[in-house]
Amino acid sequence: MRRVEAKIVENRKEDPASEPDQDPNTWLIEAKLDEDILDWETVRLDFRFSEIDAEIVESSMSKPDRFTVRTRGKSPCKSTMSSTLTFGTRTKAEESWLPGVVL
């Protein structure tokens, strides 16, 4: 697993009508990386709960250097120049070597 840092661009409330579950307590954290991630379309993102501090519903890469984390409940993450998230990335090949991980 590789560790990467990203700057938080935005932490905003999601429009409940835009998602199938229509949960009014859903938030989106958008972040930008300093570098591109190879295989960004298939990579798995692993976050530390202590940094997000909200239930992670899903995460996805939208570009090689951008991702979104969807949370239930507002995360204290702020979009300031010094606000960063540290997270890990794993490819499917790396997951297949981890004991106890079912693909």
Q: Give me the number of domains the chain comprises.
A: 1
pLDDT top residue among 31 and 3:
31
- Residue 96, domain member (yes or no): no
Contact status, residue 66 vs residue 33, Cβ threshold 8 Å: yes
Residue 58, domain CATH: 2.40.30
Cα 71 → chain centroid: 9
Q: Residue 25's pLDDT is what?
A: 93
Q: Residue 2's pLDDT is what?
A: 80
pLDDT digits (tens, 9 = 90+) for 21-54: 888 999 999 999 988 988 889 888 888 888 889 9
- Residue 103, domain member (yes or no): no
Answering whether pTM is above 0.95, one says no
Domain interval for residue 7: 2-90
DSSP assignment string, 6-50: EEEEEEEE--GGGSTT--TTEEEEEEEESSPPTTTTTPEEEE-HH
pLDDT digits (tens, 9 = 90+) for 54-101: 999 999 999 999 999 999 999 988 876 556 777 788 776 665 444 443
